Structure 1
Amino acid sequence: MKKTLFLIIFLAIAVPVGWVLFCKYEGDVPKADVRLPSPYLKQSYEINMTATDEGTGLRHVTVSLVQKNNEKILWDKPYPSPSILSLFSGKKTLSDTFAVPVETRKYGMSDGQAVIRIIVTDYAWHKWGKGNRFYEELPVVIDTVPPRLEVLTSQHNVSKGGVGLVIYKLDEKNIQTGVRVGENFFPGYSGVFNDPMMVAAFFALDHTQGPDTRIVVEARDPAGNETKRGFYHYIKDKNFRSDTLNISDSFLEVKMPDFNLGPREAQFLTEQNPLLAKFLYINETLRRQNVETVLKVPSDTRAELMWKGCFGRLSGAANRAGFADKRTYKYNGKVISHSTHSGIDLASIANASVAAANNGQVIMAENVGIFGNTVIIDHGLGLASLYAHLSQMNVAKGDRVKKDDIIGRTGLTGLAGGDHLHFSMMLHNVFVNPVEWWDAIWIKNNITSKIESVKAQIQ
């Protein structure tokens, strides 16, 4: 009986003590999942981190920024010591997630290499009570100096709805740079010159931006430091003509069946004039969607000038509508809608051959709503030409074309009232005036002479 009682008492003491010793002497190192938003310490920088210890729980987490002998503690958090009972109850900190702000400018450190040091310990009795220790150093770069740039071109005359070119030199690589026109941004490219620090940037004013538009060159480095530099420019104001288009019942009866709008078709049938209701939807909602679609395409551009000389124009064609024409649509003498024309309409004979306006690469060849069958050619540095309402497309996306290669035939697909070519020029996400690109003198004065002049300066 005494032996049995002794055994029971021994087990009652030995088992918990053994369990405690087994748990407290565990040797699993804590874990830290650290996510750095960038290897560069930007002005608004935040380290996201999760510390975990599934054994005895977290004891201490320290995060610091270290450069040589200079250490700045960014995060220092101790965790309460768990009691013996916590081994059974689970009342210990097994995991913690937090964000560590980094404000480099306040730490008195110089630009250059540094490390983010992370130390996490637990409450194990391992290593004479010091616990298991997670240690990691993540390399980062402190950079507080904005990039420098020098504008090399002197004359920048640009018209409302037109294009300009500025050439400048940077002092470091991997810079996001370009020209800010109002709220719009036009990227710069280093593919024009052999020196990667030399940047050429086309920029454009849309048809609404006049002489009061702010234009600056911007440069931002990977650390978020930014430089903005104004440069001399002259903006020529321009008025665009107005035009009235009368929508007839015969036009509606011929064109509206060409557009299959799916389930929305049933909604038009409830209107007093279903064809007119459908036209208004197409001319306003679908037009806006289609314009957004085609203006996204020129971002798929090559960092080189693929074109040479002035751009071609549909042979033997007459202008039927101008760039940025303000269109008013009337039905039975009543104004029903408005739009702005995004290019120039050219008409000659039906199914006339359409040639590529200049060298480039096809980046779209598909049907796009109001534009009908549409081909877009990239000419490099964000410049593209668009050919719409085609009855036939002879090219596919990815094809390289040369000036005067036949890419299709004119037609009346989309919202065209008669056989013609709708021709647009685009710079990134802006429609620009094609007339400039048909003018060899304008191209020489505003583009090629600038490039040649800068190349001569470099030599």
Structure 2
Amino acid sequence: MKKTLFFIIFLAIIVPVGWILFCKYEGGIPNAEISLPSPYLKQSYAINMTATDDGAGLKHVTVSLVQKDNEKVLLDKSYPPSSILSLFSDKKILSDNFVIPVETRKYGMNDGQAVIRIVITDYAWRNWTKGNRFYDERPVIIDTVAPRLQVLTSQHNVSKGGVGLVIYKLDEENIQSGVRVGENFFPGYSGVFSDPMVITALFALDHTQGPDTRLVVEARDPAGNETKRGFYHYIKDKNFRPDTLRISDGFLEFKMPDFDLGPKEAQFLTESNPLLAKFLYINETLRRQNVETVLKVPADTRAELMWDGRFSRLSGSANRARFADKRTYKYNGQVISHSTHLGIDLASTANAPVGAANHGRVIMAENVGIFGNTVIIDHGLGLASLYCHLSQMNVTQGDMVKQDDIIGRTGITGLAGGDHLHFSMMLHNVFVNPVEWWDAAWIKNNITSKIESVKAQIQ
């Protein structure tokens, strides 16, 4: 009887107590998963953190920004005590998520090195009931000073659809900078001058941007501090001519079989005029897609001027269409579509040899829908030339070419109705007027003389 009573007492008291002691003295250290958006404490900076403890539960979480003896507590949260009964219930807090804002400018700290300190304790009875402790420090950099820049060029005359050049000097490295033209951004490059702090930025207005377009030089450091500087400029307005193209049944029967649109072909067969329906899709939807494709290519550029002097045009050729012509397409006397011609069509003899307009590096040589066989050459600083409708391509991506090296021959690939070269100039993601680049005086006045003048200044 006594043995039975002892056994009952053992089960009722000793085992639960032992279980409690075992659980309360657990040695599992809490953990923190922390995400810092940048090592620099930027404006609108926020730390994302998850604190967890799978044992006795969270007791206290502290997150601080520390610089030498200066500590700013960003988060200080305590959790309700975990009772013995919590071993058998779900009242203890095992996890918590935080989004912690950091507003460096308000803390009275100096620019320079600092740390994000994270301390988490749990309700275990270890360490004289202080609990298990998680401790971590993440290095960060406080930077509240915006970069400084000085515009070194004085005159900036640019036409609607044309290109300009700004040269400026920064006061620190690792700065993202360039020229903002309306909503478009043109990056600046270090490398043209011996001083790496002197930056060269070509910028462009597209065919829709006139004298009211806002131009500004921008510089942003890794901490998000930003400087903007206006600069003297004059924007010349320009009107582009209208052009009407008449689409014939003969043209549709000649060109539409060249385009295989896969599953979409079936949908045109249900139309009263399948060839016309296919043309409209090609001239509008496919054109938009192909333009987006080629405008991404000049991003593959080098931070140097690879070209020299005026750009060449197709030898012995005549203009068949101009830059930014506003095209209206008519079929049987009815307006059916519109587009803007963002290049110049040049025609000479069939299969005429096409030379590179200037020195550079081939960054595309492939068939691109309405453009047909297409070659794009990078000339540096985001400037590129484009050659379309080629009957053959003599270069491949990565080739280095010299001015007038034969890169292909004119043709009728793509949406060309007759043998010719469609030639475009691009600056980053904007088509610009090629006529400027065929003009030696324009290049000297707007590009090379500015570079030479700044070189003389900094020497």
Q: CA deviation at 1:12?
A: 2.5
Give the corresponding residue for 1:426: 426
Give the corresponding residue for 2:313: 313
* Secondary structure at the counterpart of residue 232 of structure 2: coil
What is the rounded CA distance, in whole Å, between the counterparts of 2:310 and 2:61 in structure 1?
65
Q: CA deviation at 1:89?
A: 2.6
User: C-alpha deviations, 1:353-406, integer Å up to 9, x for none?
Assistant: 111111111111111111011011111110000000011011111111111111
Give the corresponding residue for 2:364: 364
| Aligned residues between the structures | 459
What is the rounded CA distance, in whole Å, between the counterparts of 2:138 and 2:243 in structure 1?
64
Q: CA deviation at 1:145?
A: 1.1
* Secondary structure at the counterpart of residue 16 of structure 2: helix
* Secondary structure at the counterpart of residue 218 of structure 1: strand
User: For structure 1, which segment, 24-33 or 56-65, has the greater mean C-alpha deviation from structure 2 after superposition?
Assistant: 24-33
The residue type paired with residue 138 of structure 1 is: R
What is the rounded CA distance, in whole Å, between the counterparts of 1:60 and 1:402 in structure 2?
68
1:188-337 superposed matches below 5 A: 188-337=188-337
Q: CA deviation at 1:88?
A: 2.6
User: For structure 1, which segment, 256-265 or 416-425, has the greater mean C-alpha deviation from structure 2 after superposition?
Assistant: 256-265
Which 4+ stretches in 1 moved above 6 angstroms?
none
1:162-177 superposed matches below 5 A: 162-177=162-177
Indicate the percent of aligned positions where both proteins have the same amino acid. 85
The residue type paired with residue 335 of structure 2 is: V
Give the corresponding residue for 2:43: 43
Q: CA deviation at 1:20?
A: 1.1
What is the rounded CA distance, in whole Å, between the counterparts of 2:385 and 2:34 in structure 1?
47
User: For structure 1, which segment, 66-75 or 430-439, has the greater mean C-alpha deviation from structure 2 after superposition?
Assistant: 66-75
What is the rounded CA distance, in whole Å, between the counterparts of 1:179 and 1:359 in structure 2?
25
What is the rounded CA distance, in whole Å, between the counterparts of 2:28 and 2:10 in structure 1?
29
* Secondary structure at the counterpart of residue 169 of structure 1: strand
1:28-39 superposed matches below 5 A: 28-39=28-39
Give the corresponding residue for 2:438: 438
Give the corresponding residue for 1:354: 354
The residue type paired with residue 293 of structure 1 is: T
The residue type paired with residue 67 of structure 1 is: Q
* Secondary structure at the counterpart of residue 120 of structure 2: strand
What is the rounded CA distance, in whole Å, between the counterparts of 2:131 and 2:409 in structure 1?
78
User: C-alpha deviations, 1:167-213, integer Å up to 9, x for none?
Assistant: 00001111110000011100000021121111000000001111111
User: C-alpha deviations, 1:134-190, integer Å up to 9, x for none?
Assistant: 111111111111110000001111111000000000011111100000111000000
Q: CA deviation at 1:72?
A: 1.0
What is the rounded CA distance, in whole Å, between the counterparts of 2:378 and 2:278 in structure 1?
33
Give the corresponding residue for 2:415: 415
User: C-alpha deviations, 1:244-299, integer Å up to 9, x for none?
Assistant: 11111000000001111111111111111111111111111111111111111111
Give the corresponding residue for 1:101: 101
Give the corresponding residue for 2:452: 452
Task: Tell me the TM-score normalized by structure 2.
Answer: 0.99
* Secondary structure at the counterpart of residue 308 of structure 2: coil
What is the rounded CA distance, in whole Å, between the counterparts of 1:408 and 1:224 in structure 2?
46
Give the corresponding residue for 1:390: 390
Q: CA deviation at 1:7?
A: 2.4
Structure 1 gaps of 5+ residues are none
What is the rounded CA distance, in whole Å, between the counterparts of 2:426 and 2:138 in structure 1?
45
1:30-179 superposed matches below 5 A: 30-179=30-179
* Secondary structure at the counterpart of residue 309 of structure 1: coil
Give the corresponding residue for 1:6: 6
User: For structure 1, which segment, 215-224 or 79-88, has the greater mean C-alpha deviation from structure 2 after superposition?
Assistant: 79-88
User: For structure 1, which segment, 394-403 or 252-261, has the greater mean C-alpha deviation from structure 2 after superposition?
Assistant: 394-403
Q: CA deviation at 1:8?
A: 2.5
The residue type paired with residue 442 of structure 1 is: W
